[in-house]
Amino acid sequence: MKRLLATALAASLAFAAWAAARNVDPAKSTLVATFKQMNVPVDAPFRQFKGSIDYDAAHVADAKASIEVQTGSFDIGEADYNNEVRKPAWFDSARFPTASFVSTAIKPDGSGFEATGTLTIKGKAQTIKVPVKATSVAGGTAFDGTLKVSRAYFGIGDAEWNDVVDDDVTVRFHIVQTP
């Protein structure tokens, strides 16, 4: 009887996990870019982003993810800096209000997977591969990973600023699905 119950429970849990795409929980997820100015590492979060993730631990290769980030929500911590990075030389948030990542292929790998997909910033697309770690959390799964972005590739920042700000930007994400 006990075993039967356990099997039923496991089956229902598996079914729940197998369910279709779930939204990204903005309250629990974080997306932080770290850039270096004069060799000083500065962490700055994107405050607004949304997305959906279709993930089943039993069928990782079928997973799908799409994330859309409001470039105007990049928060360096001071109004002056924030106004600067929304200008045309940087994110050009007026013309390109969003940046996005859409997965095209998922390859299981250890405790996570490698996500291949298209990263689009400022209207320019780049195919990237990101190692992602998947962890079970209450009510769903959390996805953690880091990717390197070249500002020059996407035309973020101009020559004058490149003198003091490194080209490489590290983006760290912690994405949690809504329960």
Partner 1 sequence: MSLSPDRYTRTAIALHWLIAGLIVCAFALGMVMTDLAMSPQKLKFFAWHKWLGITVLGLSAIRAAWRLLHAAPTPVAMPAWQRQASTFTHLFLYALLFLVPLSGWTYSSASGYPVVYLGLVQLPDLVAKDKVLAESLMELHETLAWLLCALFVVHVAAALKHHLIDRDDTLRRMLPWRSSRGSTENAV
- Residues of the shown chain interacting with partner 1 in the complex, contacts defined by CB under 8 A: 37-43, 77-78, 80-81, 83-84, 160-161, 163-165
In whole angstroms, the minimum distance from the beta carbon of 54 to partner 1 comes to 35
Compare residues 96 and 161 and give the one whose CB is closer to partner 1: 161
Compare residues 111 and 163 and give the one whose CB is closer to partner 1: 163
In whole angstroms, the minimum distance from the beta carbon of 24 to partner 1 comes to 24
**Spatial distance between the Cα atoms of 141 and 146, rounded to a whole number of angstroms:** 17
Edge-to-edge strand ranges of the sheet holding 22-23? 22-23, 49-54, 64-70, 98-109, 112-121, 124-137, 140-150, 168-176, 30-37, 40-45
Compare residues 106 and 169 and give the one whose CB is closer to partner 1: 169
Compare residues 1 and 160 and give the one whose CB is closer to partner 1: 160
In whole angstroms, the minimum distance from the beta carbon of 176 to partner 1 comes to 22
In whole angstroms, the minimum distance from the beta carbon of 76 to partner 1 comes to 8
Per DSSP, the chain holds a count of helices (H) and strands (E) of: 4, 10
Identify which of 49, 88, 91 has the alpha carbon closest to the alpha carbon of residue 69: 49
Give the residue ranges of DSSP H helices in 2-113.
Answer: 2-18, 79-85
